[in-house]
Structure 1
Amino acid sequence: MQISTSVPYDEQRLRRTLRFLANRQMKPFRILGVVVLVLGAAVLALDPTSSAGYGILAGGLVLLFAVVPITVASGMRMQSEVIKQGYHLSLTDEWAQITYPLAESRFRWQGLNRIVETPEAWYAMFGKAQALTIPKELMTPEQREEFAAFAAHLSK
């Protein structure tokens, strides 16, 4: 396999990647949010005038619905200016390589945990919180087929 493409900076693509990673890490917060919501509802059932019950309920809603957007916004603010210049993506049978004008990263496929496919991209997961985004829209149909077959082979 030899796939090579230029990937311009796309803020929405970066947000989708950060949201993808945050959603994978936030399951415990969502479970805790449901527990806190139930606790708040129980407190309010016993005493509808309890300000603590409303506070607990609000805390549960924050855990359920606000943590991921806050995490994504924070991640966007923490990104280096280097990535805003776009990068060149090169995929071979042995390596995935990203080359920015001022930085470069290479990943051996041997270190891959798994590949997750979404409608917009493949996420090559090297660990639980590190993903290499491989955007589908910048690849030719032949390249998409070739990479899909390669990803299926890696998953076995």
Structure 2
Amino acid sequence: MNIKQVRSYYENKENYPCPLTEKLIKAGYQQAKGHGYMDFAKEQGLEIDYRKGEPNQWWHLIRAYCDFENESNLQPIQIKCGELLVWMAEIANCCDNSKLRELEELVDKIIASGESEYHSNETTPNVKYQRGVCNTNIRKLCMDDIIKAVEESYRTSNL
């Protein structure tokens, strides 16, 4: 799965409902300000508020990731961000019923694992997660299914 395939698959899916992703982010599972796409969102003057799920994951993937990568590079992409992977899986509808239940259970487990952390800014989550471990678990659960859905769609649309 490369940048061209990812853009082709997700670019027109900005307004799809993603209740599982929304649940995860609104529980405070969002990359911290001062890192990656959050820095870029701030530079762009976008609203950053986990309570609203902003910036949204479509923007994260298309504007903060794909727009900065060379589409002619056919190297497989490496996405590590858990909330983005949950969104990608939800949009692709690539998890069968049992895998979707596993993803829902994993999201619930992640949310339950959050530790309280005080922030005076109400748009910053007052919870901290072990993102490295959580992101790895999300990736293990759904990355292969995401790749399969994106690559299959790209193959069939380019026949």
Verify same fold: TM over 0.5.
no
**TM-score of the superposed pair, with normalisation by structure 2:** 0.26
Compare the two structures and name the one with the higher strand fraction: 1
TM-score (ref. length: structure 1): 0.26
